Each structure stands twice: as C-alpha cells, then as structure tokens.
Amino acid sequence: MSYDFRAVELKWQRIWKEKKRYEAKPDERKKFFITVAWPYPSGPMHVGHARTYTFPDVIARYKRLKGYNVLFPMGWHLTGSPIVGAVSRLKGGDEKFIRLVKEVYEMSDEDIQSIKEPIDYARYFIDKSDLGYKRGMESLGLSIDWSKEFTSITPTYSKEVEWQYRKFLEKDLVTVGSHPVKFCPKDNNPVTDHDLLEGEGVDIQEFFVIEYECTIEEETIFLPAATLRPETIFGVTNLWLKKNSTYVIAKVDGKQWLLSKEAARNLSYQKSIEIIREIDSSALEGKSVLNPITKESVPIICADFVQTDVATGVVGSVPAHAPYDLVALKGSIAPKSVIEVEGYSEVPARDIVRKMGIKGEEEREKLDEATRKLYRDERLKGKMIIEYRDFYGKSVEWAQKAIEEELVAMDRGTTIYEFTKKPVVCRCGTECVVKLVSDQWFIRYSDEKWKSSVREWLKDMSLIPPETRNYFSNVIDWLRDWPFTRLVGMGTKVPWAKEWIIESLSDSTIYMSYYTIADVMNNASIEVDDDFFEYIFLSRDNRWKGNEIAERAKAAFSYWYPLDYRVSALELIPNHLTFMIFHHTALFKKEHWPKGIISLGLVILEGKMMHSSSGVIYPVAQSVNDFGADVTRFYLLYSVEPWQNFDWRGAEARGIARQLQHFYDIATEIIDMKKNGEKEGNEKEHIDLWLLSTLAKKMDAYMDNMENFRTRAALQIAFYDLMNDYRWYVRRGGNDPEVLNKLLERWLTMLYPFIPHLCEELWELQGHREPISCYLEAPSIDEGSLKEESYLITLFDDIKAALQALPLEPETIYIYCIPGEEGMIDEDFLKKEFSSDVSVQPLNRISHDPKGRAKRAKKGKPALYMEGRDGAE
C-alpha cells in the first residue's frame, strides 16, 4: 500500500498541537532541558537549518522515551543590523536584492509592500512565509514547546538583558574605550562586511607612528612616519614624501604634523585634526629631520612610490630591510643594517630584490611579496645587531615592543589604524575609512580571574564532540575584550548609555534562562525590574517575594535550570558558546551553570556551501513537500554524525523515501498477521528466540549510541540492522506474529525519535491506545540461539563464497563438521537456499569425501565439498 507521508504527518502534527503534547510543565519527574541557537529570521529556512533543529528534537524525543520531562523551546533572534539592512534595501529599491527576494525567497509584490518596518520582515520569515522558520519547524514535526516563544526584543526579555549588563557594570566586568571600525563617511555609520561593495574581509591594522622633528619656516613640525616595524628606526636613512604632492600642516592632538591631504582626511576619523595650511612636498625636499632615538639628522626625499592615501603619507626609509626603499634610493644612500638574519647577507633587502629579479619601484606586486617575505623571516628568525642599550642580540619582536614603549614614553610615538587593503567601498559607493569609535563599551573577557573560573567550569562540562574541549580551551586563552555596543540595528539599549545598542552576540548569552519563565511572562502583564531577576534567578529576597508571577517564574526556573545541553554550531565556539559560559559563571549560582554543549557541523548542498544571499539553498518547505518530514529527518541524521559536515544530495533523499515506504509495508504486514490471528501463542522456536535476542542486543547498542548523541550510529542500528535481522528471520522461515509484533513494537520505539509521524501512525495501527513510551526495555537474551545462528550464518556465507568462484550448479553440498555441531545446521534451509541436496557429515561419520576436504574442518567452521549437476565437480 502506498503510504501518504504528508497526510499522516499533518494528522499527527495536528494531534500533537491539539493535545499540547510538548508543552512542558514542572512536575515530579527528572527534567531535561535542551536548547538550540535561536534563528535569525532574515531569509528562508533551508535544510541546513533543518538539521540544526531536528537533531535536538531527536534527542528531546529520545529523552522523553527514557522518562524525562523535557523542555525544548524556541525563540527568535532579531538583534542586529542585517534585517534592518534588508528592509532598507527593499525600500531603497536595490534591484539585485529585490530579484533575490522574489525569485529565491518567493516574496510577492504584495508581501514586499506589506513590509514597512524591520519587525515586519522578521515576522515574514518567522511565520508568514511558507519558507519561514516557524512553519518549517512545524512541518518537520519538531516537538517544540511553543508556549515559551519570545524574541530578543521582547520587552520583558530586554529587562533581563539590562539586568545582566547592570550586573556587569557593578562587578566591573565592562569597561569603556575606543575601537576601530570600518566606517562610511556618507552614511555616517559603521559598516559591516555585508554592507560592502568592495573590500570584504579586509582587516584593520594598527600602525605605529614615529614622529620625526623638523623645522619648517621656523616652526617645529613633526613628520609622522607610519610603520609596522618600529625597530628598524635604527636603520632609517631618510624619510619619503610623495613627489609633487600636496601635503598639509595640521594640528593633531595638540602637535603640528605634516600629513598628506588624504591622510589628514582619513585620520580625522581617528584623531582630532585641524588643518592649518597646505604645502607642496617639493618645498620640503632636502630638508632634514631628527631621528628621535638615534638623534641623527636624515634628509627628506620625494619619490613616486609613496601612496598618499595610505596611513600618513610620510614614510621612513630603511633600505637595508625594506625592498621598496632600497630600490627607490638606487644606491644614492648606503643602507644601514640593524637586523641579522640567517640565510641573508648584511643587506637582506638587496638579497631578496636580486633573487626576485626586481628592476624598479614600479614592480609593486613583486615588491609587496618581497616585503612580506623579508618581514616574516626577520621577525621569526632575526636578531638585532645594533649597539643601543641592551638591544644587541635581542629578537625583533622584543625590540619592536621596547622601541614602541620608549617612543611613547618620550612622546614621539603613537598609533593609527589603517585597512590592510584598499579600497574599501560601501554599498552606497563611498570609500570607507577607519573610524576610531570612542566611548565604545567592552566586556572584559580578558579578565584573568574571570577566565580562570571559566576554565575550571569547562573541566566539568560535557562537550560533544570531545575534540571541541581543546578548541574551547584555546578560545578562552586568547579571548580579548569584546566591544558589545553598536549604533545600528534592533536590540536592547545599554541601560546607562541609551544611544548604544547591545549587539547581537552579547544579548544572547543567557537567554536560555528566560525560556524557563517565558510562558509565565507571556501571560502576565507586569513591569519587571532588576529586583525581579535577582529574586527569581538568585533567590535574593526583595519586594517580589510572595508575588504570584514571581513565585511561579522562580519555581519554573529552579526546576528547569541549569541547561542540560546547548546545541549549536562548531563555528560558534570562538564567540557565542564561550560567551555563554563566561556570562553564566559571572551571573548565576554554580548549580545553574550550563552542563553540556553539542557543536554541530555544517550542511552543504550537493557539494556547495548554502548561502541565502547567493540563492544556493534548498528550503525546508521544498524538502518536506518533495519527500515529507520523516524522510527529511531520517536523511538529515543517517549519513554522518551531527558534528560532521553533511552534504545534502537529492538522490539519496529519494532513496530514503523508498526505504521508509518499504518499512511501512513490512510493518503493516506484521500488524495484519496479528489481526488475522495466525499462529498465536505457539511455543517459541529457535529462530524466534534468535530474533528477540538479537533485537535485545541491538537495543543495547542503540541506547549506548543515543546516550552519546551518535544519532547516525543509532539510526543505522535501529533501521538497517534490524531490517537485516528481520529479513534473515523471514528467510529462515520465521513467521510468528507475536514475535514479529514484539519486534515491531521495539522497532517503532527506537525509530520514533527520528521518524515520529510514521511511528505514531504504525503504533496506532498496531492497536496501542497510549502514546509511544517506555518500551525501551529489551527482551531477554538467549545466548545459545545467538551462537547457533551465527554458526549457521558463517556456514551460509562460506557456501555462497565457494559457489561464487565455481561455475557449477551444485547437486549435493557435503558439510563436514566437528561432531556435536551438526545440530546447528539447518539442512532444510540450506537445501532451499541453494536448490541442492545437503549432506551433513560429522567427522566421526563420514561416508563420502572424494577430495579429502573433511580434514579442513575447524571448530565453528565446517569444511565443504560440492558436486555439480553434470557429475563433474
């Protein structure tokens, strides 16, 4: 009978919803609380997301089978700028984006018209669109408790975020400082990589600026040379300015600097700059400047290769170690070596220029490469060879730091920021600059005390897969202060600085705690404050004590918390997952710190990365439509373990549909046998005992895998292994309806977490009134039947293998076995299987052995001899 996946799935989804099957309330049972990263609904839900959410569903369903009271909730992450950006692109008539939205996201003109605010766009992808997340999750049959749904901008939740950050302020875990960002001068806003036309992935680099004093028209002017290698200051032979170019004299943080015109503009986003007058570089050629460290006087020289739009437009020249400088000087000034490095002569820059065959300063690509290579070698292996204080013999890295400190101390050094690659262009067409955002707030993850408490807790956490432990530990080590405030996007405002918004990763670190109380809060209309959270989370007595809402929330929190498992992605370990641990340790009592983290791998589509923005996606809605929810779920879990990367291939999904259909057919046959009352209550034969015993073994293995989240291994056992066992049973003549129904009962239970609709349906057809549960106890194991059957299977395989190498049709198969083993050989079965006569001859009763094969018989492995139909062997 053809099984209608969709019809049955919709039926059960309706029943689950009507009976509120997955709404979890505290009770006397053991609890299991699992959460998964809430989606950011900025586009369609695709099969990659489907795996992320199906995996915890499988675990949740399994835990329910094991008798746990399970909470598996869901919410929506709306914080941040992409949704806001999408809406402005929609409204601004961005053609490329509108085409994507229409063709891939299936938005109609009306849909687009209806979107006025960012929240409308988010809502569209939550539950309005067929491709939306909530619909996708429901169509997959996820056992989510929707009564606890909320978003990251739900007002009461924002109150919790505010509480969290005020606590941080109190505990001195936040600090204010400055931070460089990519910035569009026209939009007057920071830009993210997604907002860029050009320059995606370009980094911001910190340059050190050395101020060289110079007297110009009787004024003291500083020439700020930007460099990545301040230690080479000992080898500076001259300064470079761009030939015939307009420079300016400007007041920068109280001092007079000479800057290129472009630099003055760019740097005005980092420092206070007041331009005094312009001056052409030619007017400065030949003047000399004072090296602040060596006190030497070196000349200013103009050259073409200087880029006025990079850094300051003033460059220190170190011909011994900088290929550009060496080439540009053309030997007019002798290089001064300051670093000695293995594999190079006294003037390393000359070596590499010769080796790479660089002819002139116009060969920029080669010069850039030479610069990179030389810098790497010198930094890694170089030693300082200058006689200055204790510098001689020290590493380049050490010297760099020492010089920086010294220059800063003598007020001749500072830092500026610059892109690693230019240009960086905003979507609006304007070239971006590096802006130094002052009064940017940071979370002080660098705090050693905080780090060590996180490290301590990490030891006790269950981390899946185990390799992630190391990863976490490294992340904790190199985690720096995190700027958590933004100027754009949706989110919660920083309570003490309302012009700032708390950015998306930073407002989602402890939201799991809110799930525990979300249903209470969703149905209450009260104004909460910090005290409220102090009371329910930390049991600090205050005016909320005795308040009905607060008491209910408190009870729910105490019951559900801590979080048992957080399900997320491998790529979130360097930020979100680690932040979560940090924040919990800082805010909650130790008994409420998260117990485990499962990090999932990514999903690719037919070998390609899926990106909603590129349109390379396979939406969940389509998969469910094409194959059904159970097939989609099964397929997402059967081929690799959750933490491995998964490649979605349509051809394989089709194969699964056939297999599940087949399973359905077998199951209904078994059910019909029972209905027809065939052979009820007979004494159990060997093969019946074998089936139940092997089933019991498989159940053990299944549970061992499920407990360790190896869903793939568990599913392989629960489906394919049992399918093979079933086939073998039937092949061996097994047909006891009672035994088969027992098998099916367990089979359905084991498969239920993976393909719940199909299992519920068959469970009902089998005549059960109650929902599937508690059928995970295995039948007893009859070791004897297992042993006997495996003897026969080995024999069967041997005969098959031998026959394969022979071109004959066997007339008689002679089997020579150790005396006593003959009882395990089912002659009738072998006769039937090989359409041949079978003669079993124990070694002490041999009657026919023309080739003397009997002597090859071993314990557990009989010897064989076969005679063909034509008389010939």
**Can you tell me the distance from the alpha carbon of 392 to that of 114, in angstroms, rounded to the nearest whole number?**
71
Task: Provide, rounded to whole angstroms, the least separation between the CB of residue 504 and RNA.
Answer: 4
Which of 263/501 has CB closer to RNA? 501
Question: According to the binding rule CB under 7 A, does residue 822 interact with RNA?
Answer: no
Question: According to the binding rule CB under 7 A, does residue 191 interact with RNA?
Answer: yes
Q: What pairing do the DSSP bridges indicate for beta strands 837-842 and 219-227?
A: unpaired
Among 325, 503, 564, 630, binds RNA (CB under 7 A): 503
Q: Which of residues 63-82 bind RNA (CB under 7 A)?
A: 77, 79-82
Question: According to the binding rule CB under 7 A, does residue 136 interact with RNA?
Answer: no
Q: How far from the centroid of its chain's Cα atoms is residue 435's Cα?
A: 30
Question: Which among 112, 431, 92, 52 is positioned nearest to 269, based on CA atoms?
Answer: 431
Question: According to the binding rule CB under 7 A, does residue 231 interact with RNA?
Answer: no
Give the pair of three-digit tokens for residue 402.
């020492």
Which of 367/577 has CB closer to RNA? 577
Among 88, 415, 522, 659, binds RNA (CB under 7 A): 659
Q: Which of residues 526-545 bind RNA (CB under 7 A)?
A: none
Question: Which among 777, 779, 807 is positioned nearest to 869, based on CA atoms?
Answer: 807
Question: According to the binding rule CB under 7 A, does residue 451 interact with RNA?
Answer: no
Question: According to the binding rule CB under 7 A, does residue 194 interact with RNA?
Answer: yes
Q: How far from the centroid of its chain's Cα atoms is residue 633's Cα?
A: 20
Among 649, 697, 768, 832, binds RNA (CB under 7 A): 649
Among 767, 806, 809, 845, binds RNA (CB under 7 A): 806
Task: Provide, rounded to whole angstroms, the least separation between the CB of residue 665 and RNA.
Answer: 8
* Binding piece for RNA, criterion CB under 7 A, among 103-111, 426-434, 530-538, 801-809: 801-809
Which of 419/535 has CB closer to RNA? 419
CA atoms within 13 A on the CB side of 292: 23
Task: Provide, rounded to whole angstroms, the least separation between the CB of residue 470 and RNA.
Answer: 5
Question: Which among 171, 163, 165 is positioned nearest to 530, based on CA atoms?
Answer: 163
CB 549 within 8 A of CB 526: yes
Q: Which of residues 830-859 bind RNA (CB under 7 A)?
A: 851, 853, 856
Q: Which of residues 16-55 bind RNA (CB under 7 A)?
A: 40, 42
Question: According to the binding rule CB under 7 A, does residue 631 interact with RNA?
Answer: no
DSSP-derived letter for residue 616 is B
Q: What pairing do the DSSP bridges indicate for beta strands 31-36 and 565-569?
A: parallel
Which of 237/668 has CB closer to RNA? 668
* Binding piece for RNA, criterion CB under 7 A, among 155-163, 235-243, 298-306, 570-578: 570-578
92 by DSSP, 3-state: which? coil
CB 222 within 8 A of CB 229: no
Among 188, 295, 390, 478, binds RNA (CB under 7 A): 478
* Binding piece for RNA, criterion CB under 7 A, among 154-162, 211-219, 416-424, 633-641: 633-641
Task: Provide, rounded to whole angstroms, the least separation between the CB of residue 316 and RNA.
Answer: 24
Task: Provide, rounded to whole angstroms, the least separation between the CB of residue 201 and RNA.
Answer: 8
Question: According to the binding rule CB under 7 A, does residue 114 interact with RNA?
Answer: no
Task: Provide, rounded to whole angstroms, the least separation between the CB of residue 479 and RNA.
Answer: 5
Which of 261/379 has CB closer to RNA? 379
What residues form DSSP beta bridges with 840?
Answer: 815
Which of 113/470 has CB closer to RNA? 470
Question: What is the DSSP annotation of 317-351?
Answer: E-TTT-HHHHHHHTTSS-----EE-TT--SSHHHH
Task: Provide, rounded to whole angstroms, the least separation between the CB of residue 199 and RNA.
Answer: 11
State the burial class of residue 288 (Cβ atoms within 10 Å of its Cβ: 0-12, 13-18, 19+).
middle
Q: How far from the centroid of its chain's Cα atoms is residue 674's Cα?
A: 48
757 by DSSP, 3-state: which? helix
Task: Provide, rounded to whole angstroms, the least separation between the CB of residue 82 and RNA.
Answer: 5
Which of 359/449 has CB closer to RNA? 449
* Binding piece for RNA, criterion CB under 7 A, among 215-223, 346-354, 737-745, 793-801: 793-801
**Can you tell me the distance from the alpha carbon of 309 to that of 264, in angstroms, rounded to the nearest whole number?**
9
Site size with RNA, rule: CB under 7 A? 82
Site string for RNA, 357-396 (x = CB under 7 A): -------------------x--------------------
Which of 199/235 has CB closer to RNA? 199
Core vs surface per residue 487-496: b (16+ CB within 10 A) or e: ebbbbbbbbe
Give the pair of three-digit tokens for residue 180.
């460089």
Which of 666/696 has CB closer to RNA? 666
The CA distances from residue 20 to 23, 60, 126, 393, 703, in Å, are 6, 15, 20, 74, 27
Other C-beta atoms closer than 10 Å to the C-beta of 791 total: 18
Task: Provide, rounded to whole angstroms, the least separation between the CB of residue 822 and RNA.
Answer: 14
Rg (CA), the chain: 37
Which of 754/865 has CB closer to RNA? 865
Other C-beta atoms closer than 10 Å to the C-beta of 677 total: 8
Question: According to the binding rule CB under 7 A, does residue 572 interact with RNA?
Answer: yes
Question: Which among 241, 227, 205 is positioned nearest to 421, based on CA atoms?
Answer: 205
Among 19, 658, 679, 848, binds RNA (CB under 7 A): 658
What residues form DSSP beta bridges with 246?
Answer: 280
Q: Which of residues 430-449 bind RNA (CB under 7 A)?
A: 445
Q: Which of residues 694-733 bind RNA (CB under 7 A)?
A: 713, 716, 720, 727
Task: Provide, rounded to whole angstroms, the least separation between the CB of residue 128 and RNA.
Answer: 19
Among 364, 540, 800, 845, binds RNA (CB under 7 A): 800
**Can you tell me the distance from the alpha carbon of 693 to that of 698, in angstroms, rounded to the nearest whole number?**
9
**Can you tell me the distance from the alpha carbon of 399 to that of 403, in angstroms, rounded to the nearest whole number?**
6
Question: What is the DSSP annotation of 685-742?
Answer: PHHHHHHHHHHHHHHHHHHHHHHTT-HHHHHIIIIIIHHHHHHHHHHTT---HHHHHH
Which of 520/838 has CB closer to RNA? 838
Which of 546/807 has CB closer to RNA? 807
Q: What pairing do the DSSP bridges indicate for beta strands 810-817 and 863-868?
A: antiparallel
Question: Which among 563, 558, 548 is positioned nearest to 509, based on CA atoms?
Answer: 563
Task: Provide, rounded to whole angstroms, the least separation between the CB of residue 15 and RNA.
Answer: 28
245 by DSSP, 3-state: which? coil
Question: According to the binding rule CB under 7 A, does residue 467 interact with RNA?
Answer: yes
Among 182, 554, 698, 757, binds RNA (CB under 7 A): 182
Among 479, 556, 637, 689, binds RNA (CB under 7 A): 479
The CA distances from residue 778 to 298, 306, 747, in Å, are 88, 79, 11
Question: Which among 551, 565, 546, 557 is positioned nearest to 589, based on CA atoms?
Answer: 557
Task: Provide, rounded to whole angstroms, the least separation between the CB of residue 803 and RNA.
Answer: 8
Which of 276/793 has CB closer to RNA? 793
Q: Which of residues 258-317 bind RNA (CB under 7 A)?
A: none
Residue with tokens 């990090």: 599
Among 340, 530, 647, 738, binds RNA (CB under 7 A): 647
**Can you tell me the distance from the alpha carbon of 728 to that of 745, in angstroms, rounded to the nearest whole number?**
18
Question: According to the binding rule CB under 7 A, does residue 571 interact with RNA?
Answer: yes
Task: Provide, rounded to whole angstroms, the least separation between the CB of residue 35 and RNA.
Answer: 16
Among 798, 811, 822, 837, binds RNA (CB under 7 A): 798
Among 589, 654, 679, 787, binds RNA (CB under 7 A): 654
Task: Provide, rounded to whole angstroms, the least separation between the CB of residue 657 and RNA.
Answer: 8
The sheet with strand 485-486 has its strands ordered as: 485-486, 497-502, 493-494
